[in-house]
Structure 1
Amino acid sequence: MEKARWAVSSGIDSARVRETGRSDADPLPWERPDEAGPPGRQPAGARILGAGLRAAVLLCLVTVVVHLGAVFLHVAPPNPVSRKYGRQVDAWVFPLFEQNWRLFAPNPDSVNRRVLARTARTAPDGSTQVSAWTDLTALDRAAVEHDPFPSHTAQNLLRRAWAAYVDAFGSDDTARSPRAVMMRKYLGNIAAERVAGHRGGTFDFIQLRVVTLPVAAPGTPPGGRPPAPVENRILPWWKVTPHGK
């Protein structure tokens, strides 16, 4: 009986040894070409996506730091750093990020200004076709009237662009600084976009006319005689990017 039990036990052990030997000879899971790679290793696409996200986050952080530094140097008192990098700071800040202190010391307009624009294009026969005047200020007012959430750009973009133009040019229209040239292009682009969005059509030149009117006295009836303009300033024709083509 003891020999029989030993034989059975020996047979089982031999079978296990043979089975274990065959298992050890098999290739490892990651050595098989038809199976996935070693555990814990990400696919190439996931690694590329992760690297791209990290690069995008780093780029955003660098942009924020540069922007805050440029704005700080712009509003800070003159110092060696702002004097050395003044041109780069102005190129970054103007005209989209211009800073002023009117939020804390408001300087409201004491007059009413109407900005009008007309356009011109060269016809196929060589003649110049000039449009009628378009009241851009009236368009802005109509866009915000009765609107509980009026657009900031509709209220102030054109007005602030004209104020910046006057600050850069003064009473004439001769550019004497790179900033003046930039503000002229900025104002012209705003006017061209407003005209193109209002009536469409094609044009290559634009001209602005700014009519300054005094503020009506309190108690003046709405249908009374309109006040005489204080200033009627017509700017030169400006070449703009062709619109409507």
Structure 2
Amino acid sequence: MENSIESRADAVEPVRSLHFLAALIAIAAVLLAAVLWHFAMLFLSIAPANALTTKYQKQINGYVYPEFAQYWQLFAPNPLQQKIMVETRLLTAGSDDKPRIGPWVNLTTRDDAAIRHNPLPSHTHQNMLRSAWNFYYRSHDGKSGKPIGTNGELSTEYLKRIGLQRLGAGTGGVRPVGIQLRVRFIPVPAPAWSKEGPEEKTRRVTLPWWQVDEADCRGL
């Protein structure tokens, strides 16, 4: 009789262990789902606007605010909405000292071509050109185009030197005496799910000719 009771107890023990293990797995699964849901909602609350956040914005805000409000953004708060194309050309003087105007050269297209299909691309030239133009744009009056303080003059020289370097000024026996730049602002179309207004038209800005001397080409 005692052997029968012991055998039954031995048979019940593995069943209890299985039930306990199943309960632990169920609890772990619920906790994991809750954690994934929590982090997914927090991520969507700080991510750039997309189709998912646009559709479920009310539900996301209802979960995140005010307990889990964040005041920083994981990505750029407002990515560039226009492509900036920088072109330049040289005014040169030959052996007869007659000025010659060269063709426009698209520096941005050159930079893009150097990156495209490159497994290990370098964005140095691309970022340098974009930063130089932004520096020039911020340090000049938007209406008159006049430089604002010393930064205006410095940004002009910086942009000039980049243009001369990219065009190989001072090499090949050609003497540059002037350089001119122009910029095209091409709007990037908004995605289909965006509620932004209609895109702006492409606009162009042509800067005046800048005089070039030997000091400008030194060290290029």
TM range (shorter): 0.5 to 0.7
Write the distance in 2 (CA, Å) between the matches of 1:123 and 1:147: 38
CA deviations 1:134-170 (Å, max 9, x no partner) are: 0000001011111222213122110111011100014
Write the distance in 1 (CA, Å) between the matches of 2:79 and 2:162: 22
Task: Give SS of 1:196's match.
Answer: coil
CA gap 1:106/1:186 in 2 versus in 1, 3 angstroms? farther
**Does the CA-based 8 Å contact 1:144-1:154 persist in structure 2?**
no
2:117 aligns to what? 146
In the TM superposition, residue 111 of structure 1 has moved relative to its aligned partner by 0.7
Task: Give SS of 1:146's match.
Answer: coil
Letter of the 1:173 partner, please give it: G
Letter of the 1:175 partner, please give it: P
**For 1:9-158, what aligned pairs fall within 5 Å after superposition?**
105-158=76-129
Task: Give SS of 2:186's match.
Answer: strand
**Does the CA-based 8 Å contact 1:116-1:210 persist in structure 2?**
yes
1:44 aligns to what? none
1:208 aligns to what? 181
Q: Which stretches in structure 1 are left out of the alignment for 5+ residues?
A: 1-101, 220-226
Count residues in correspondence.
Answer: 137
Q: Does 1:184 align with 2:156?
A: yes
Normalised by the size of structure 2, how large is the TM-score?
0.53
Write the distance in 1 (CA, Å) between the matches of 2:74 and 2:205: 29
Larger-Rg structure: 1
In the TM superposition, residue 215 of structure 1 has moved relative to its aligned partner by 1.3
CA gap 1:104/1:130 in 2 versus in 1, 3 angstroms? same
CA gap 1:145/1:103 in 2 versus in 1, 3 angstroms? farther
Structure with higher RCO (Cα < 8 A, 6+ apart): 2
Task: Give SS of 1:156's match.
Answer: helix
1:97 aligns to what? none
In the TM superposition, residue 121 of structure 1 has moved relative to its aligned partner by 1.3
Letter of the 1:207 partner, please give it: Q
Write the distance in 2 (CA, Å) between the matches of 1:103 and 1:207: 39
State percent identity of aligned pairs.
35
Normalised by the size of structure 1, how large is the TM-score?
0.48
In the TM superposition, residue 114 of structure 1 has moved relative to its aligned partner by 0.8
CA deviations 1:164-192 (Å, max 9, x no partner) are: 11000142431231111001100110111
In the TM superposition, residue 103 of structure 1 has moved relative to its aligned partner by 9.1
Write the distance in 1 (CA, Å) between the matches of 2:95 and 2:213: 18
1:10 aligns to what? none
CA gap 1:103/1:131 in 2 versus in 1, 3 angstroms? farther
**Does the CA-based 8 Å contact 1:118-1:133 persist in structure 2?**
yes
